[in-house]
Amino acid sequence: MLTYISRRALYSIPVILIATFLSFWAVRSTFDPTAKVRVSRTGARAAEQIRVRLHLHDSIFEQYGYWLGDAVQGDLGDSERTHEAVGTMMTRAFGNTLQLIGWGVLISALIAVALGVYSATHQYSKLDYTFTGLSFVGLAMPAFWFGLIAIQWLAVWPKETFNLNDPIFYSVGLHSGDQSGMFNLDYVRHLVLPVLTLTVLTIAEWSRFQRASMLDVMSADYIRTARAKGVPRRSVVIRHGLRNALIPLVTVVALDVGALFGGAIITESIFSIDGMGRLFIDSINAGDVQVLTAWVVVTAVFIVAFNLLADVLYGVLDPRIRLS
Amino acid sequence: MDNPTATDLPTVAVTGEPTRAPMIGPLLSVRNLSVSFSTDDGIVRAVDSASFDVMANETVGIVGESGSGKTVTSMAILGLLPKTAKITGEITFRGESLIDASERQLEQIRGKQIAMIFQDALAALNPVYSVGKQIAEAIRVHNPDVGKPAMRERCIELLDLVGIPNPTERVDQFPHEYSGGMRQRAMIAMSIANEPELLIADEPTTALDVTIQAQVLEVLERIQDRTNSAIMLITHDLGVVAGVADRVVVMYAGRQVEVGSVDQIFYEPRHAYTEGLLASLPRLDRRADKHSRLHRIVGQPPSLIFLPTGCAFHPRCPHAEVPGRCDSERPELVDVGPAHQSSCFFADRVAAAVKVDQS
């Protein structure tokens, strides 16, 4: 098992290098870091300073080399927009996104597995059809649309109808002004709507996947063997069915989570959460090259890392992979 | 209790397993069993009024080609058919009906009194659990109190009994680490874990090469000597049946066509289908001239949705009188000798043909 993991980890090093280089190259060739200073009176000199600082006279490979050298030492440069260290900004944004995604993924996975297993074991039942119909709605519903509906129905209407001082669920940020911390009611009231918005699509997608995977497994010969041994139905479903049906789902979830770190942009924008998505939009609008570079590279690393995690989990769950 | 020697079957029941009551009458009795499935294309009659008995300690071979209803019959006995299956008739085990039994009652019987050996052990064993774990599960379901070390000990003994080399190491391995023959033995070890009174072996040797086939059959016979269990051996391979079975049921298109002792079936077949099957066996004792080919039964087995009228075998039968009784009247299973039944109107013609051939 250890050799399997270390081999997988070694494989991902070149992937990370290539992915980060391509990301770096894409940002550097799209944005001109000197654009903002060039037009001013002292423009020429300021622009030259920036070129020297970012090694823009060198080839893209050397630029990447300098950037990477600094990055691995924890120096991602400073934002041209806020003049803050990029590392600090990324850490803060990442922390907020992590809260959103952590809860979102946990809840989505639990609900999706439950729905998928129920649908598969009660195939063609009324509830199965209901879940199928709802999942199509979920798949078709854009996050920006669902988010607004959720705000209107669950935050605005109840507040107006019952004349409340505060909405039941907040729709801005993760905390009220004077609050902080992760385990209080205020936090939960802030989290419900964005997490709900985020989970609609993932639940719809994963429950479909889990249903298909479970149906596939439940028709396998070893399920019949387990029943022929006298194993009660519930144990057959969980110990033999679910255990095997989870293997493909885990892969899908791990891959999706990696992508979500950069992909919760819409949800974060709707609910004004200072996460990775907001940071990305703000940096693009400001042409903040240092932040953008770091953002794209870190996101790429995350996607690769979760690919690696998917591989490792696959090995943990399936002995046939682990030992070969 | 004495230490079990290597040749003893590991005793599985923890405390006083009631000694088996002496059996009067058959262990398993199947009467007019019919199983049909509704499909989009029509009703599939997988099994059509099958009736046979399995006595204690007896080996009954159920022979027929793919789609003749062998496996569906065994699934019906264990109540493992999907809910969409329409089952009529009677199945009694030790005098108690299995058709009327609740799922809970069936769970008590499955794996404990009636166990099943499936074909294609790679697919029939769960890939994510070690072989030992899967055998242990079979034991634990019926004996929840067995402790971990005792359980492991027992799994190793069972693997040893079915001839798995190095059972102490093998017990922790996964099915994909076993060879095909070993997997089938592991499957057998699992099925005999609770010393069932009836073992249903569904094509246990299919997809194994001939030497491994022989070993697996030898294990089955050895197990039977130890546990006195009855075996229902489902196969399409007459050679397997000849070596192991006491009695044979020949099935065609979901119907029984002939029932008899193994000698009767092989030397005095009274149904044209059995005759055809026997003639199709490659034989060492008969000299074939250079150009002669292996005999085959002309045509294809019929669709179970659109069965031929009358005798289902008549379109392929060399003795059939068409038009006549064969394509208009359904033949019943009738006695053609002591404990020998055939559902052929012209059983005597088959007998005559066989006689000419054998002389």
| Residues A249-301: tens digit of each pLDDT | 998 998 888 778 766 888 898 999 989 988 999 998 888 888 988 998 888 88
Whether residue B134 contacts residue A239, with contact meaning beta carbons closer than 8 Å, is answered with: no
Question: What domains lie within chain B, and their CATH numbers?
Answer: 6-14+29-245 (3.40.50.300), 272-283+292-358 (no CATH)
Say which range, B3-7, B311-315, B331-335, B353-357, has the weakest mean pLDDT.
Answer: B3-7
Q: What average pLDDT does chain A have?
A: 89
B20 confidence band (pLDDT: 50, 70, 90): low
Interface test with B, best of A221, A225, A239 (most B CBs within 10 A): A225
Gap between the Cα atoms of B103 and B116, Å rounded: 17
Interface test with A, best of B75, B107, B128 (most A CBs within 10 A): B128
pLDDT on residue A163: 85
Q: What is the CATH number of the domain that holds A146?
A: 1.10.3720.10
Coil, strand, or helix at residue B198?
Answer: strand
How far does the CA of residue A114 sit from the closest CA of chain B (Å)?
A: 21
A317 to B128: CB separation less than 8 angstroms, yes or no: yes
B141 to A221: CB separation less than 8 angstroms, yes or no: no
Residue A113, Cβ neighbours under 10 Å: how many? 21
Q: What range does the domain containing A209 cover?
A: 2-44+59-323
pLDDT on residue A319: 87
| Residues B44-62: tens digit of each pLDDT | 999 998 999 999 999 999 9
Q: Which residue of A has its CA nearest to B111?
A: A229
Gap between the Cα atoms of B322 and B335, Å rounded: 24
Percentage of residues in chain B having pLDDT higher than 70 = 91
Q: Which residues on chain A are in Cβ contact (under 8 Å) with B234?
A: none
Interface test with B, best of A216, A217, A222, A244 (most B CBs within 10 A): A222
CB contact B118 to A (< 8 Å): yes
- Please tell me which of the candidates B110, B118, B130 has its beta carbon nearest to residue A221: B118
Q: Are strands B42-54 and B28-39 parallel, antiparallel or unpaired?
A: antiparallel
B176 to A319: CB separation less than 8 angstroms, yes or no: yes
A120 confidence band (pLDDT: 50, 70, 90): very high
Distances, alpha carbon A250 to alpha carbons A76, A318, B88, in Å: 33, 11, 43
Amino acid occupying residue B236: H
- Please tell me which of the candidates A226, A239, A320 has its beta carbon nearest to residue B127: A320
Q: Which residue of A has its CA nearest to B124?
A: A222
pLDDT on residue B7: 46
Q: Burial letters for B105-120: b for 16+ Cβ neighbours within 10 Å, e otherwise?
A: ebbebbbbbbbbbbbb
DSSP state of A169: S
- Interfacial residues of A (vs B; Cβ cutoff 8 Å): 220-222, 224-233, 239-240, 243-244, 247, 317-320, 323
Provide mean pLDDT across the span B346-359. Answer: 82
Distances, alpha carbon B11 to alpha carbons A21, B142, B150, B216, in Å: 66, 13, 11, 22
Q: Which residues on chain B are in Cβ contact (under 8 Å) with A242?
A: none
- Please tell me which of the candidates B109, B120, B128 has its beta carbon nearest to residue A319: B128
Q: What is the pTM of this model?
A: 0.83
Is residue A53 situated within a structural domain? no
Q: Which residue of A has its CA nearest to B118?
A: A225
Provide mean pLDDT across the span A215-238. Answer: 95
Is residue A52 situated within a structural domain? no
Q: Please name which of A258, A250, A264, A261 lies closest in space to residue A318, comparing C-alpha atoms.
A: A250
CB contact B131 to A (< 8 Å): no
B316 confidence band (pLDDT: 50, 70, 90): very high
Gap between the Cα atoms of A319 and B177, Å rounded: 10
- Please tell me which of the candidates A224, A319, A323 has its beta carbon nearest to residue B80: A224
Q: Burial letters for B198-236: b for 16+ Cβ neighbours within 10 Å, e otherwise?
A: bbbbbbbbeebeeebbebbbebbeebbeebebbbbbbbb
- Please tell me which of the candidates B112, B127, B128 has its beta carbon nearest to residue A230: B112
Q: Which residues on chain B are in Cβ contact (under 8 Å) with A319?
A: 127-128, 130, 174, 176
Q: Which residues on chain B are in Cβ contact (under 8 Å) with A225?
A: 116, 118, 124-126, 187, 190
| Residues A23-76: tens digit of each pLDDT | 889 888 888 888 877 777 777 888 888 888 888 889 999 999 999 999 889 888
Provide mean pLDDT across the span A115-137. Answer: 95
| Residues B266-311: tens digit of each pLDDT | 999 999 999 998 888 877 766 666 566 778 888 888 888 988 999 9
CB contact B141 to A (< 8 Å): yes
B107 to A319: CB separation less than 8 angstroms, yes or no: no
B359 confidence band (pLDDT: 50, 70, 90): low
Q: Which residues on chain A are in Cβ contact (under 8 Å) with B141?
A: 229-232
Provide mean pLDDT across the span A163-167. Answer: 83
Q: Identify the H or E element spanning B29.
A: strand B28-39
CB contact B142 to A (< 8 Å): yes
Q: Number of structural domains, chain A?
A: 1
Is residue A51 situated within a structural domain? no
A239 confidence band (pLDDT: 50, 70, 90): very high
- Chains A and B: how many Cβ contacts under 8 Å? 75
- Please tell me which of the candidates A221, A319, A320 has its beta carbon nearest to residue B120: A221
Is residue A18 situated within a structural domain? yes
- Please tell me which of the candidates B111, B127, B174 has its beta carbon nearest to residue A230: B111
The whole-angstrom distance between residue B332's C-alpha and the CA centroid of its chain comes to 23
B246 confidence band (pLDDT: 50, 70, 90): very high
| Residues B106-147: tens digit of each pLDDT | 999 999 999 999 988 899 999 999 999 999 999 999 999 999
B127 to A222: CB separation less than 8 angstroms, yes or no: yes
Amino acid occupying residue B35: V
Q: Which residues on chain B are in Cβ contact (under 8 Å) with A244?
A: 126-128
Q: Which residues on chain B are in Cβ contact (under 8 Å) with A228?
A: 78, 80, 110-111, 115-116, 118
Q: Which residues on chain A are in Cβ contact (under 8 Å) with B176?
A: 319-320, 323
Whether residue B69 contacts residue B50, with contact meaning beta carbons closer than 8 Å, is answered with: yes
Angle at B147 between CA B142 and CA B153, to 5 degrees: 95
Is residue A50 situated within a structural domain? no
Is residue A54 situated within a structural domain? no
How far does the CA of residue A213 sit from the closest CA of chain B (Å)?
A: 15
How far does the CA of residue A4 sit from the closest CA of chain B (Å)?
A: 17
